[in-house]
Amino acid sequence: MSKIKVYVGAIVVTALLVPSFVARITLAQMNSTSYKVQSDSVNFAGNLSNSTNYRIEDTVGEIATGLSGSTNYNIAAGYQQMHNVYISIATVSDVVMSPSIGGVTGGTSNGSTVVTVTTDSPSGYVLFIKASSSPALIFGANSFADYTPAGANPDFTFSISSSDSEFAFSPEGTHIVQEYKDDGASNCNTGSTDTVNACWDALSTTDKTISRSTSSNQSSGTATTLKFRAQSGALHLQPAGEYTATTTVTAIPL
């Protein structure tokens, strides 16, 4: 949740991200530095069969298969049980944006937080972000407009008119998607560079993909830094009040 307090001549900005995550219990696995056995079973027969209408994979010889559990545990016994994966988002801290912005004179305020996703899914994960309202940063009938990139891609440089006020975000990290990578010069959604404080975009009330991996990253996890920027132009008068934007990040295993 991002908050901006606008007083006579000053804006104080704070922010809070609300994490959403999926977590499942994992089964024991045999592994070493060279390999990992995702699923194993002891049986004496089995086969994969399919047609245009169905697909079935069977085994013969397993006993005591199925799902069972209590308030303390869950067991998915048997080779044919759906493989469960673990995923988590590290605690997301409040964001305090600074410096204060003059409600009459204008100015720029910045803040950031780190979202660390950890999963044992061999296919990786995807990380999304969305806002609870549009515009994202609001106070009653007043708001900072959602940032408007000049083209179809995020803007390499944050830039608004002197008569406007806008709010944007930019993700940084080793797993950010191509849309937020750049060529190291002036263009986003091209190249493989992750320039600091570049590729600014607007929040949306629908999920936007910001990071993605194609393999497990357990147990260290991978951090994505979310940067936020609010700016009020020198010719723009921002009404006094406490502006709030609630932002949700969601991680899903692949």
3-state secondary structure of 51: coil
Cβ contacts of residue 242 below 8 Å, gap of 6+?
3, 4, 5, 6, 139
Same domain, 34 and 19: no
Same domain, 117 and 19: yes
H helix or E strand, kind and range, residue 47: strand 45-50
Please give the mean pLDDT across all residues of the chain: 82
Residue 23 has pLDDT above 50, yes or no: no
Lowest-confidence segment of 57-71, 148-162, 235-249 by average pLDDT: 57-71
Instruction: Specify the amino acid at residue 141.
Output: A
Q: Give the whole-angstrom CA distance, residue 249 versus residue 112.
A: 14
82-138 residue pLDDT tens: 566 889 988 667 777 788 788 888 989 888 889 999 998 888 999 999 998 999 988
Work out the pLDDT band at 8, boundaries 50, 70, 90.
Answer: very low
Same domain, 186 and 131: yes
Compute φ and ψ for 180, nearest 5 degrees.
-105, 10
| Range 22-36 average pLDDT | 57
Same domain, 116 and 153: yes
196-218 residue pLDDT tens: 999 999 999 999 999 999 999 98
Total number of domains in the chain:
2
Lowest-confidence segment of 30-39, 160-169, 204-213, 244-253 by average pLDDT: 30-39
Same domain, 139 and 34: no
Domain hosting residue 220, numbered range:
2-24+86-253
Cis peptide before 253, with omega less than 30 degrees from 0?
Answer: no
Residue 4 has pLDDT above 50, yes or no: no
Same domain, 116 and 184: yes
Same domain, 183 and 245: yes
pLDDT for the residue 5: 46
Q: Is the Cβ–Cβ distance between 249 and 120 less than 8 Å?
A: no
- Cα distances (angstroms) measured from residue 26 to each of 73, 159, 191: 11, 46, 37
Same domain, 40 and 115: no
Tokens standing for residue 183: 């060529």
Most confident of 57-71, 76-90, 155-169: 155-169
Work out the pLDDT band at 233, boundaries 50, 70, 90.
Answer: very high
Nearest to 153 by CA among 184, 182, 111, 185: 182
Residue 6 has pLDDT above 80, yes or no: no
Instruction: Specify the amino acid at residue 124.
Output: G
